[in-house]
């Protein structure tokens, strides 16, 4: 019986035409045959301010808004940080509710930083990044945004780790 969840993360619908979508859906089918992990797909959907859950034939789809970090936010940085905190706790609830053991983003961008933070703060969750080619060239071409995003989120992660240590003392 499937008790543990495997969360795939896609920046688009798994029903979209393309190789990455096919790979993820086929992995979901394989997990169903294996009968150990229950497959979930988190779809980055800007219109989904709250998670929307849909049961599909081979997986459960969760649509939810994930923001990319971009240095152009200017005065809206506080709003951005507050959104990230809210998103983090929403994702934490999803991981807990569905007993997610593995988070596996495909074609990742900086929008997965909340999921990476979740992995760092919840030791039981494993994290697998899956690159498919085009995503690597996107990262290389946006090198400055990537560097700024990593710097910002490394400081945010440091803050959370300090708070976690303080609260558990």
Pairing of strands 37-44, 126-127: unpaired
pLDDT tens-place string over residues 90-105? 999 999 999 999 999 8
Between 156 and 54, where is the model more confident? 54
Q: Please state the rounded mean pLDDT for residues 99-123.
A: 81
Q: Please state the rounded mean pLDDT for residues 118-135.
A: 75
What pLDDT shows up at residue 127? 83
- The count of residues in the chain is 169
Q: Is the pLDDT of residue 164 over 60?
A: yes
Q: Please state the rounded mean pLDDT for residues 63-74.
A: 71
Lay out the sheet containing 126-127: strands in order across.
52-55, 60-64, 37-44, 4-10, 100-105, 126-127
Q: Is the pLDDT of residue 52 over 80?
A: yes
Closest to 157 (Cα-Cα) out of 93, 122, 125, 114: 114
Cα–Cα distance between 64 and 48 in angstroms, integer?
Answer: 5
Q: Pull the structure tokens for residue 149.
A: 């995003």
Q: Is the pLDDT of residue 138 over 90?
A: no
What pLDDT shows up at residue 51? 96
CATH number at residue 93: 3.40.50
The answer to whether 56 and 36 are in contact (CB under 8 A) is no
Minimum mean pLDDT range among 103-112, 125-134, 135-144: 135-144
Number of domains in the chain: 1
What pLDDT shows up at residue 111? 75
Cα–Cα distance between 117 and 122 in angstroms, integer?
Answer: 9
Cα–Cα distance between 95 and 124 in angstroms, integer?
Answer: 10
What pLDDT shows up at residue 34? 84
What is the domain extent for residue 27? 4-168
What pLDDT shows up at residue 77? 67
CA 45 to the chain's CA centroid: 12
């Amino acid at each position: 019986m499937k008790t543990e969840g495997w969360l795939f993360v896609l920046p688009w619908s798994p029903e979209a035409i393309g190789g990455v979508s096919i790979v993820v859906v086929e992995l979901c089918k394989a997990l169903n045959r294996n009968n150990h992990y229950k497959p979930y797909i988190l779809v980055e959907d800007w219109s989904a301010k709250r998670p929307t859950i849909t049961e599909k034939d081979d997986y459960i789809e969760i649509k939810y808004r994930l923001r990319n970090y971009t240095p152009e936010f200017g005065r809206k940085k506080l709003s951005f940080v507050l959104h990230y905190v809210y998103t983090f706790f929403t994702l934490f609830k999803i991981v807990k509710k569905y007993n997610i053991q593995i988070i596996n983003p495909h074609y990742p961008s900086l929008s997965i930083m909340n999921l990476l933070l979740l992995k760092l703060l919840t030791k039981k969750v494993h994290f697998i990044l899956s690159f498919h080619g085009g995503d690597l060239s996107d990262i290389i071409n946006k090198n400055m945004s990537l560097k700024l995003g990593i710097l910002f989120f490394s400081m945010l992660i440091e803050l959370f780790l300090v708070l976690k240590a303080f609260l558990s003392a």
